[in-house]
């Protein structure tokens, strides 16, 4: 005999059937963004080949750690994306899941901006 006095689940605790939308959109935006920006980071060494020998050595010396910061820093957007996928599929987590998913591409853009700021680019002529 079923217990008819059991409380119904709260509306915020109900299963969210559309929980996959924000993480999927974030993934579809972030993957091409990471691909294109990583190509730009990879070609940074060639951008350092103009100017005097002192400018070239300064640029190369600053580009090496900046490249490491960028590629190791990609673990942060990966963690945000994994967190947005693994949150419980409840309506109460919808806002948190959406915020995490939106932060992923912006974290990649922030890493690229940090890379650009760390490299001592030679002056253009």
Residue 82: which domain range?
30-118
Q: Does 25 reside within a domain?
A: no
- CA distances for 90 relative to 20, 34, 64, 79, angstroms: 11, 30, 44, 20
Q: Does 69 reside within a domain?
A: yes
CB 122 within 8 A of CB 59: yes
pLDDT in tens, 69-86: 999 999 999 999 999 999
Domain tally, the chain: 1
pTM: 0.84
Q: Does 60 reside within a domain?
A: yes
Q: Does 5 reside within a domain?
A: no
Q: Is 119 left (phi over 0), alpha (psi -120 to 50) or beta?
A: beta
pLDDT in tens, 22-74: 999 999 999 999 999 999 999 887 887 777 888 888 888 899 999 999 999 99
Q: Does 12 reside within a domain?
A: no
Reference 97, options 108, 82, 111; nearest CA is 82
């Amino acid at each position: 005999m079923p217990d008819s006095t059991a409380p119904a689940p709260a509306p915020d605790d109900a299963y969210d059937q559309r929980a996959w939308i924000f993480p999927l959109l974030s993934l579809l935006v972030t993957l091409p963004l990471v691909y294109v920006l990583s190509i730009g980071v990879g070609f940074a060494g060639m951008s350092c080949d103009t100017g005097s020998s002192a400018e070239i050595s300064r640029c190369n010396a600053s580009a090496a750690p900046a490249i490491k910061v960028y590629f190791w820093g990609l673990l942060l957007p990966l963690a945000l994306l994994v967190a947005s996928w693994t949150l419980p599929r409840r309506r109460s987590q919808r806002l948190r899941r959406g915020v995490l998913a939106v932060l992923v591409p912006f974290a990649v853009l922030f890493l690229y901006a940090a890379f650009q700021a760390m490299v001592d680019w030679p002056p253009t002529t």
